[in-house]
Structure 1
C-alpha cells in the first residue's frame, strides 16, 4: 500500500537533513507507531525510555545550534521531522515540539551567553528536557492576564503562583516560566511580565495533578505550584518587563510546530482510510470503488497537500524574515489543525462502526487531532489575528 506521507525526492535537502528525515521516518514506523496505543492507554505513566531515545538520536537537538552541541537544522527540515514523528505518535511529537520551539528558541534569542552555555548543550543531548509555562487557570487565550507574581529581592526573585497546562512539566529539567514582575498596585499589562528559567527540584516548586485528557495522552501535561520559590538573577531571561513579548515571538515558531504535528495526524488518517477502503468489501467489491468514497478520499488528500504547502510557505517566510511571517504562522496552524480534525473525522467515517472502536487507530487519531485546534492559540483567536495582521500590513500581498 502506498503511503501518503511526505515525499522528499523533489526537495533540495542536505545529506545531513536527508539522513535525519530517514531516521525520523524509521523511528516513527518501528518505535512510535507500535507503542502509541500503549502510551494512550497508560496515560499516567510518562514514557521516559522513548524520550531517552529521542535525545540519543538528536531529535531534542534539532533547533540547537552546532556551537552548543546541537544539530542546527533549518526550520523547514525540523518541521518535516515533526510531521514524521506525529505520524507515529502525536503525543510524543508535541513534547519534541515544545522542547525545540519554545525554551530553546527563547534562550537563543534573549538569553545571555552564560545561560545558553549552561543549558543548551544539556538540552541538545536530552539530559535536560525543556518545558514552557505561560497559561494559568484564568489566563489561557488572554495569556497576559496571568497572576503568578515574581517579587524582587536581594540577588534574585521570589515567585508565588500556579501554572497550568505545562507540557513536559513533571519530567522537564528546566521550565521556561512567565510571571508578573510589576507590583500588584501598579499593573502594567503586557509590559510587566518576566521570563524565568525554573530548574527542576528547586525548593518551593511542586508538581500537581497530571491532566486526564481526551487525546495525546502520551504527552505529559501538569500543573505547577510555586510557593516562595527563590530564583537567582542569573535565571531571569533578558529584560524583566519584556517576557510577554518574548513569549509571543516563541509562540510564532511554536505554532508552526503544532501545524507540522497536525500534518502528521492528517497523514496518518489518510493512510488508514486508504488502506481500509482497499481491503473492506461491501456488495462484492472494495468500498474504495464507490464514488462517494472516492470523493471523500480525494478531499482528504487534497486538504493534506494544501496544508503542507501552507506550512512550507510559512517556514520560508520565517527563514527570510518576511513581514508576513506572523500572519502565515497563524494561517498554517489554523488550516493544518482543521485539516487534521476533518481528516480524522472522515477516516472514522470510512471505517464505519469499526472506526468508533478502539480496536482501530482512527479512533485515537480523532481524539488526538482535536487539541491541535485549541493549543498554541485557539483557532477562533487565529482567525482574528489573521484579519488584524492584514490591516497592519496594509492589505494582502
Structure 2
C-alpha cells in the first residue's frame, strides 16, 4: 500500500524547486505582506515565472499537468514560507476544478490556457452569509433569458476576490426544484457588466489574500458560461471540495512545518540557566509531539492526494479526514511554537505568531472541521 502515495523522485524535485523559489522570492516578503494586508505580488510573479501558479491545469491546455500530490507539495512548500501566498495556487485549483470536473471541452479550452500562462486567476463563489455550511439554502439566482442567464445575488468570503479574472459561481436556477438539485454553476468574468466587489474583509490571518464579497446586479451571462447541465451545480461544487480539501490540508501542513522549523532553531539558540533550552526534557517532549502530529498529518494528506488523483470512491472520507486532522494539528503546532518562544513568540519580530493566526482559517474554510466530522461520520455508517 505504501507505494500508492509515496512521493516519487519527480515529486521531490518539484519540492526542491518550489522551496528554492519560496526561500528567495516569497518568504522575504511574508512579514511585510501580513503587516500591510497587501496581495503578495512578488509571490504571484514568482509562481507564474516558474509554472507553479496553476500547475494542475492539464498539458493539453498549456499547463504542467501536475498530479494532485505534486500540487499538494507545491502548496505545502509555499505555505511553509507564506500562507497568504499559498492561496494563489490553492484557489486557482479550487476555482477551476468545477470546470475540470463538469465543464465542456469548449469551456476548458476558453479559460484554462490563460490560467496556465498565469494571465488570469480563478476564484470560487459558493458561500453566502446565510448559506455557509448549508450551501443548498443559497439565495443567489440565475434566471434564463433566451440563451443567456441573468445573475443576481451576493457571494461571501471569496478568496482572492478582485484579483482573479474568473469566478466559478453557484446560483439557484430552479427555485421550485428539489433542494440541492436546483443549483447551477457558471463562469463569471471580472469584466462582466453589473459584477462588482465588496470591501476587503479585515481578518485575523492570511491578510495578504484579499477576501471580499461578489456582488451581482443583473449580470448577463452567455449560455456557454454554464458548467455542466442546469441543476448539476451543487453536485459539482461538492465534488470539487472533495478534491480541494486536500489542498487545505497541504496548506496546514506547510504552515505547521514552518512553525516547527522556526521553533527548533530558536530553542537550540536560546539559553536559560546556563544551557540551551532545547536540552530540557520538557522542551523535547513538546517538540516530539509537534513533529509526530505533523508527520501524521502529512502522510494522511498525501494519501488523500493520491486518492484525489485516482478519483477513488472513498475520496470524500479521506479528503475530509486530511483537512480536519491537518488543520487541527497545524493549530496545535503553531500554538506550541509560540509557547516555545515565550514572550518572543507573541511579538511580530518572529513569524510564529503570524503562523498561528494563519493556521486558524484552515479549520474553518472549505467546510468547518465540525462539517468534516459530519462528512466522515456519515461515510462510516453508510
How far off its partner does 1:18 sit? 4.3
Measure the CA separation in 2 of the matches of 1:143 and 1:178: 9
Asked if 1:283 is matched to 2:273, the reply is: yes
How far off its partner does 1:23 sit? 1.9
Measure the CA separation in 1 of the matches of 2:13 and 2:289: 32
1:179-215 alpha-carbon deviations (Å, 9 max, x no partner): 11013xx242100101000001110011111111000
In the other structure, the counterpart of 1:84 is 77
Provide structure 1 residue ranges, at least 5 long, that are not aligned to the other structure.
1-9, 393-397
Tell me, yes or no, if the aligned pair for 2:40 and 2:84 is still in contact at 8 Å: no
How far off its partner does 1:49 sit? 4.0
In the other structure, the counterpart of 2:36 is 42
Measure the CA separation in 1 of the matches of 2:26 and 2:223: 40
Aligned-partner SS, 2:217: strand
- Further displaced range: 225-234 or 322-331: 322-331
The 5 Å alignment of 1:1-397 reads 11-14=7-10, 17-43=11-37, 45-100=38-93, 102-183=94-175, 186-392=176-382
Tell me, yes or no, if the aligned pair for 1:296 and 1:346 is still in contact at 8 Å: yes
Measure the CA separation in 1 of the matches of 2:258 and 2:239: 30
Measure the CA separation in 1 of the matches of 2:99 and 2:313: 23
1:119-171 alpha-carbon deviations (Å, 9 max, x no partner): 00001111011100100110111111110010110121001111111111101
1:85-115 alpha-carbon deviations (Å, 9 max, x no partner): 0001011102210112x23222122111111
Tell me, yes or no, if the aligned pair for 2:155 and 2:213 is still in contact at 8 Å: yes
Measure the CA separation in 2 of the matches of 1:313 and 1:140: 28
How many residue pairs end up in the alignment? 377
- Further displaced range: 47-56 or 83-92: 47-56
Tell me, yes or no, if the aligned pair for 2:53 and 2:88 is still in contact at 8 Å: no
Aligned-partner SS, 2:193: coil
Task: Give the aligned CA root-mean-square deviation in angstroms.
Answer: 1.3
Instruction: Give the TM-score of the pair, scaled to structure 1.
Output: 0.92
Measure the CA separation in 2 of the matches of 1:385 and 1:39: 35
1:58-95 alpha-carbon deviations (Å, 9 max, x no partner): 11231111110000011111111111000010111022
Measure the CA separation in 2 of the matches of 1:48 and 1:11: 30
